[in-house]
A and B are shown apart, each in its own frame.
Chain A
Amino acid sequence: MSLLDIKGLTIHYITHQNTVRAVNDVDLSIDTGKTLGLVGETGAGKTTTALGILRLIQTPPGKIVSGEILFDGKDLLKESEHNIRMIRGNDISMIFQDPMTALNPIMRVGDQIAEVVYLHGDCTKEEAKERSLHMLETVGIRAERSTEFPHQFSGGMKQRVVIAMALACKPKLLIADEPTTALDVTIQAQVLKMINELKAVYNTSMLLITHDLGIVAETCDEVAIMYAGQIVEYGNLEHIFDNPKHPYTIGLFKSLPSLDKDVERLSPIKGLMPDPANLPTGCKFHTRCDHVCEDCKAIEPAYQEIEPGHFVRCLRVERGEI
């Protein structure tokens, strides 16, 4: 059985002017110890999905309209606020996109780690402190620096502190929301390696949100491609990298530079992602698709399993036309 099983998750941001349909009917699942990559361009709804799992969507304007989030067999959307708090930081923890702002600027980094340990750890303050020092050393920061404040750390080190904080309670699921996007390229690799190693040590499952397919190839077991709030293609690494079916996924690969293929020019996907407050009818991708037909504009494609474990949301793939 999978650790996390999301079914039909739909999240909207409702304001006076409009309704932003950020996440629409998303299905995802992650097995114990496995890593799922969630890939999509900015505004696709990745962060909203992640925050939805922890029930941290700001309400208002955000609202989880429908769906189920089964974690260890329990529906998180039906849990009490108290139970959710017991899960947050303990069973499911999250690494946020921007380490520069993710830490409280006026609290010592050691205390920020010890806080979460003390909250869930069933231990004394001293033991929590002890554990926070251990966690700092685990992520490669000397324990003496625990009394320093975030402004005394570089971006990469701040992200390490955030990782230490997220893993301090040995969560079953780690949600990493673009953990390396804000970092220098050289630091990116280090941080990613560290997350991977620690994840293996603690046997943690991971939802890795990124827009970097290279990172996915190195890190993930399964991949979900998100577009305009929907999962358009889902499968394991071979499915997605060797046999991509959805025109959007194919477009993503075409827009990447490659060393082995000798292409003259990159071909980015034309156009822009539609405004999630004003989504087109039919297939959400039809405005940018090379294979668009009349039906694509009217009929909403179903999420179809085309081979075991490989799902695609495309009318023309479903009909075997492409």
Chain B
Amino acid sequence: MRPFTYERASDPQAAVKAAAETPGAKFIAGGTNLLDLMKLEIERPAHLIDVGRLPLAGIEDAPDGGLRIGAMASNSKVAADRRVRERYPVLAQAIVSGASGQLRNKASTGGNLLQRTRCPYFYDTTKPCNKREPGAGCAALEGLNREAAILGTSFACIAVHPSDMAVAMVALDAEVETLAPSGQARRFPLMELHRLPGETPHIETHLTPGELITAVVLPPPPEGGQLYRKARDRASYATALSSVAVAGGRIALGGVAHKPWRAVNAEAALAQGASPQEAMQAELADAVSAGENEFKITLTARLGAATIEQAGGRR
């Protein structure tokens, strides 16, 4: 690990100010993704701002009947929350399908959204990777790409975003609240947080430098059933090959793109009376295989259709 200096932020304003003023600064929340990458020197922050004890861990009822989840609320705390379990079961299901009990106890809501890809070449510093080193090339294009994306890919990067939680939140039409170093707070749809790789896969979000995620806000639960299903290589403790979150008429896919993928074409098809199978065909019409991940197209079509059908019969 490269040397760095460390401070614990006293309040959100101080945290964003320090982030803007200190070269090479990064926030650390649970640390479960950042420290993993720092040990491999893939992340090399010169300064860490510990935001883990900021008073942003609460989960509060929102005035409109929704729920406001503080960015520091741990994944375990969110999945254990009675309101989440009863009114947003798809979110509790998605969270408990990810990582392990120990990791979820440390993983924060904000850190989970901003976790980086688990593409094997991003982790292997002896191989070219545009995300790690812009312009170096992408080893996954011609390499082991069984886990790679099938939607929204580019010639620069075919990696997937590994979060389960974010997929459910996108299906729930969540919004993100942030605080910028200027002191400006803003709120925008979670769907607009992450970017597709395009030619700049190293730029992963639309956050500005030093901007801190302070909360995720869920609108009131939609009418209709909710369900999260995840297909993976092991029964537990593995990231998704493909996952599907259904919340009423809204659908999001995980493990298939550089961001949690809102399946707007499938939603539109369903709204016009298409069958779940037809809706998934519509969503995957533009899906492309990189070689070894060809199976994901069929897997996602079937998993999506089955999840839509099953969610229909649920709370």
User: Do A and B make up one complex?
Assistant: no
| B-to-A contact residues, CB < 8 Å | none
